[in-house]
Chains A and B, each alone.
Chain A
Amino acid sequence: EVHLVQSGAEVKKPGATVKISCKVSGYSFTDHHMHWVQQAPGKGLEWMGLVDPQDGETIYAENFQGRVTITADTSINTAYMELSSLSSEDTAVYYCARSNCSGGECYDWFDPWGQGTLVTVSS
Chain B
Amino acid sequence: DIQMTQSPSSVSASVGDRVTITCRASQNIAGWLAWYQHKPGKAPKLLIYAASSLQSGVPSRFSGSGSGTDFTLTISSLQPEDFATYYCQQANSFSLTFGGGTKVEIK
Contacts and interface: CB of A to CB of B under 8 A. Distances in A.
Interface string B86-107: 0101010011111111000000
B98 A110 contact: no
B5 to A, nearest CB: 12
Contacts of A108: 91, 96
Interface residues of B, number: 22
Tell me the interface secondary structure of chain A in the complex.
strand
A95 B95 contact: no
A9 interface: no
B44 A113 contact: yes
A44 B99 contact: yes
B1 A110 contact: no
B94 A110 contact: no
B87 A45 contact: yes
A95 B44 contact: yes
Nearest to B55: A111
Contacts of A45: 36, 38, 44, 87, 89, 98, 101
A116 to B, nearest CB: 6
A66 interface: no
Contacts of B49: 100, 107, 109, 111
Interface string A50-92: 0000000001011100000000000000000000000000000
Contacts of A115: 43
Interface of B: 1, 34, 36, 38, 43-46, 49-50, 55, 87, 89, 91, 94-101
